[in-house]
Amino acid sequence: MTNPPNPPGKPFEDQDESAARAVEDRIQQILTSGEEILHVAMQNPVTALSAAPDSVVLTNKRFIIYRPKFLGGAQFEDYIWRDLSEARLEEGLLSSKISLKSVSGKLLSMEHMHKGAARKVYSLAQDMEERVREERRLREMEEKRAAAGGINISGGLSGAAPAAPAQPADDPVEKLGQLKRMLEGGLITAEEYDAKKRELLARL
């Protein structure tokens, strides 16, 4: 199972639902296999002084900036979550500004956003940022373990191939990798993944 896009309650926060649905329909056309929309956040047309406001669309794989153009055209700018390192939210009297920095230092920002929608973007971006950090930490652990396994410290005969390190039958790091693949494949929910991850990390 995967997280449902726009959970019930306030699916588009304080935005015009019909306009947000139109953006969602347009973005659906460019999604890749297994990709789902998590949230649509639009500029407030009043403060942005635009009849066709820009939008930020979050999926389970990407952060997308959608800029509609005249005569039905549009410009898309997207970044995978692994390429984003920091999210910021600035709230004004009538609208908010969301900013995300890429790992290369590029700053992506959008002003004049509906406040509730911008808060949801910030919350989801923080969650994705935490997941990416955890993925990096696990990858570094696996690389260090692989490097340590390739060093022959037993002082054996010259030219003899080092023995391959025995893999524990219940290796937590391997289990985490399996859980991640199950999550990405839609076999378990994010809640089930997080609960099992905490249990496995406690064993490291």
C-alpha distances out from residue 149 to 30, 75, 159, Å? 43, 48, 17
Read off the pTM. 0.60
- Alpha carbons 179 and 105: distance in angstroms, whole number: 31
Grouping H, G, I as helix, E, B as strand and the rest as coil, residue 142 is helix
When the pLDDT of each residue in the chain is averaged and rounded to a whole number, the result is: 79
Region 146-165 average pLDDT:
53
154 SS3 class? coil
pLDDT tens digit string along 90-141?
998 888 999 988 888 888 888 998 888 889 999 998 888 888 888 888 888 8
Q: Which of 23-37, 64-78, 88-102, 186-200 has the lowest mean pLDDT?
A: 186-200
Could you tell me the fold of the domain covering 17-127? PH-domain like (2.30.29)
pLDDT at 31 over 90: yes
- Structural domain boundaries of the chain? 17-127, 169-204
Task: Encode 171-190 in three state secondary structure.
Answer: CHHHHHHHHHHHHHCCCCCH
